[in-house]
Amino acid sequence: MEQKMFERLKRVADEIKKAKSVAVLTGAGISKASGIPTFRDKDGLWKKFSFSQFATYQAFRKNPKEVWLWYNYRKKIIKQAKPNPAHEALAELEQRFKENFTLITQNIDNLHYLSGNRNIIELHGNIFKVKCTICDRVYVDDKIYSEEELPPKCKHCGGLLRPFVVWFGENLDRDLLDEAIKSATSDVFLCIGTSGAVQPAASLPKIAHDMGRFVAEFNIDYSGISIYADEVVITEVTESLPQLIKLLDS
Task: Find the CATH number of the domain harbouring 158.
Answer: 3.30.1600.10
What is the C-alpha separation between 231 and 12, in angstroms, rounded?
A: 7
90 and 60 within one domain: no
243 and 145 within one domain: no
Whether 87 is a known active-site residue: answer: no
11 and 133 within one domain: no
- Residue 136 backbone zone (phi > 0: left; psi -120 to 50: alpha; other: beta): left
Predicted pLDDT of residue 52: 61
46 and 89 within one domain: no
117 and 145 within one domain: no
113 and 21 within one domain: yes
Predicted pLDDT of residue 164: 98
Task: Count up the domains in the chain and report the number.
Answer: 2
Predicted pLDDT of residue 185: 96
What is the C-alpha separation between 92 and 247, in angstroms, rounded?
A: 13
213 and 137 within one domain: no
Task: Find the CATH number of the domain harbouring 19.
Answer: 3.40.50.1220
Q: How crowded is residue 201: how many other Cβ atoms within 10 Å of its Cβ?
A: 23
Catalytic choice (87, 112, 124, 209): 124
180 and 129 within one domain: no
What is the C-alpha separation between 32 and 41, in angstroms, rounded?
A: 11
pLDDT at residue 177 above 80? yes
Residue where one domain finishes, among candidates 111, 144, 165: 165
Residue 78: φ, ψ to 5°: -70, -35
101 and 75 within one domain: no
Range of the domain at 136: 37-80+125-165
Please return the burial class of 150, using the count of CB atoms within 10 Å of its CB with bins 0-12, 13-18 and 19+.
middle
7 and 103 within one domain: yes
What is the C-alpha separation between 184 and 8, in angstroms, rounded?
A: 21
Report whether the peptide linkage leading into residue 64 is cis, meaning its omega lies within 30 degrees of zero.
no
186 and 116 within one domain: yes
pLDDT per residue as tens digits for the range 194-229: 999 899 999 999 999 999 999 999 999 999 999 999
pLDDT per residue as tens digits for the range 27-86: 999 999 999 987 555 554 434 546 567 889 999 999 999 999 999 989 999 999 999 999
Per-residue pLDDT averaged across 160-184, rounded? 96
What is the C-alpha separation between 55 and 73, in angstroms, rounded?
A: 14
243 and 149 within one domain: no
